[in-house]
Amino acid sequence: MKDVALTIKCCFRSFCDKLVTVNDYLAQRDAEWMGQIHCFLGLSVGLIQRGMDAAERRSNYNCDITYINNSKLEMDGEAGKKKPET
């Protein structure tokens, strides 16, 4: 139920562009399950996972909603690879 509530909240709040989870499994699961709702509402969904190169990460950060685990978000922030301005 918590996942559905968060998904609905993010769909209606334009400032919510990243959904942070505690591990890659949950990020992938939620991107697949809850991402269907986002896609139905016309939003693009990205997923940041271990082993992605910089181009893949950039592409996923440019989506309307990006699922990522907290350690990846911290590492990307420290490396200066935050979502680029559009």
Q: How far apart are CA 82 and CA 68, in angstroms?
A: 12
Report percent pLDDT > 90 for the chain. 19
DSSP per-residue letters across 14-72 = TT--EEEESSHHHHHHHHHHTHHHHHHTT--EEE--TT--HHHHHHHHTSSEEEEEHHH
The answer to whether the beta carbons of residues 62 and 46 sit under 8 Å apart is: yes
Segment 13-25, tens digit of pLDDT: 544 577 788 888 9
First to last CA, the chain: 33
The answer, yes or no, to whether residue 85 has pLDDT greater than 70, is no
Stated pTM of the model:
0.68
- Residue extents of the structural domains in the chain: 2-78
One-letter amino acid of 18: K
CATH second-level architecture of 2-78?
3-Layer(aba) Sandwich (3.40)
**From CA 57, how far away is CA 46, in angstroms rounded?**
9
State the chain's mean pLDDT as an integer: 76
Report the pLDDT averaged over residues 56-73: 86
